[in-house]
Amino acid sequence: MAAEKERAVKRRNIIFQLPVYDEESGELLGHLVDITASGLRLVSAKPIPAERLFKLRMELPEDYFVPRDLRLKARSRWTRPDVNPELSTTGFTLEEMTGEAEDVVARLVSLHAFND
């Protein structure tokens, strides 16, 4: 993966760790910890295999979004241990985003990101 300084779009840390599910299995994959228009990072209880395409369902903050779910296709790119040794962190790239999904991601970042 390219070095952080080479990242084209700065990642934004999310105040609320939103739950993200594998839409096909219904399994909780992890919680969103950062996001950009092109990717996201989850923290999870178990490692997520790299280079796998997922259909994700993210539960959005209750008071800000209707509908409450965002559905995305994303490919897992890497997994490594989190700072907490009981957790893993996984980076994803977003694929085939609709205009509506792009708008929701942009709004999510602007509403719930830490100020830089």
pLDDT tens for each residue of 20-62: 999 999 999 999 988 888 899 999 999 999 999 999 999 987 7
**What is 78-110 written as a DSSP string?**
EEEE-SSTT-EEEEEEEES--HHHHHHHHHHHH
**Domains held by the chain: number:** 1
Note down the domain range covering 30: 16-111
Identify whether 105 is part of a domain.
Answer: yes
Question: Which of the 8 DSSP states describes residue 23?
Answer: T
Cα separation, 47 vs 54, whole angstroms: 14
Identify whether 2 is part of a domain.
Answer: no
Q: Per residue in 88-112, pLDDT tens? A: 999 999 998 889 889 888 887 776 5
